[in-house]
Amino acid sequence: MNMSVSKCRQNFHVEVEAAINKQINLELHASYIYLSMATHFGRDDVALPGLEKFYFDSSHEERDHAEMFIKYQLSRGGRVVFANIERPTKEEWSTALEAMEYALNLEKEVNDSLLKLHQLGSNHSDPHVTDFLEGKFLDEQVESINKLSHFTTKLKRVGDGLGVYEFDKELQ
């Protein structure tokens, strides 16, 4: 197969291109984890439809982020390289709080990756990639971390049982 070079590629360092491919994989991995969480909370023996919906929505959002990075990569003349998506290491959650804390840590991991990508773009004098990240991802990521932090605090406060049921109703 003949590997042609993109005609639109300009000031797009191969390290930035590779980091975007890693970010695509991380976003898909996060989507996969949230999908797993949604199915856990949707089970009849767990029956928390608000959390099920929240995690399904979160899964869709992460997949949308992956698609945004794919389209960006193509617009810059980069090549999208798909890697295996790591399966979730955990598929059972003993409490809603445990799952929410896991989600919070996942969002922090995604944020760290975005910040490293932003720094890489700066190091390679690529204002386009830094602007893309600032305009589409960084603020939203901080908001997500804040939202999940509030959710974990609420879940700690309400405890198990009826409190989780009431919290779940808020998410529906």
65 is in an annotated binding site: yes
> What pLDDT sits at residue 121?
98
> What pLDDT sits at residue 108?
99
Whether the Cβ atoms of residue 35 and residue 56 lie closer than 8 Å to each other: yes
> What pLDDT sits at residue 4?
82
> What pLDDT sits at residue 60?
99
> What pLDDT sits at residue 159?
92
* 93-128 per-position pLDDT tens digit: 999 999 999 999 999 999 999 999 999 999 999 999
Domain 14-171 has CATH 1.20.1260.10: yes
> What pLDDT sits at residue 57?
99
102, two tokens: 């896991």
> What pLDDT sits at residue 42?
98
170 is in an annotated binding site: no
166 is in an annotated binding site: no
91 is in an annotated binding site: no
Residues of the chain with pLDDT under 70: 1-2
Distances from the Cα of 65 to the Cαs of 48, 49, 85, 158, in angstroms? 26, 24, 15, 32
> What pLDDT sits at residue 5?
82
107 is in an annotated binding site: yes
**Residue 111 phi, psi (nearest 5):** -60, -45
Whether the Cβ atoms of residue 74 and residue 13 lie closer than 8 Å to each other: no
The model carries a pTM of 0.95
Neighbours of 84 (CB within 10 A): 8
Q: What is the DSSP letter of 47?
A: -
Domain residues of the chain, as ranges?
14-171
Distances from the Cα of 32 to the Cαs of 83, 91, 94, 103, 142, in angstroms? 14, 11, 19, 12, 21
List own/partner pairs for 8-14 with CB under 8 A and 24 or more apart.
Answer: 8/75, 8/76, 8/77, 9/76, 9/77, 9/78, 10/77, 11/125, 11/126, 11/128, 12/76, 12/77, 12/78, 12/126, 12/129, 13/120, 13/124, 13/126
Whether the Cβ atoms of residue 97 and residue 155 lie closer than 8 Å to each other: yes
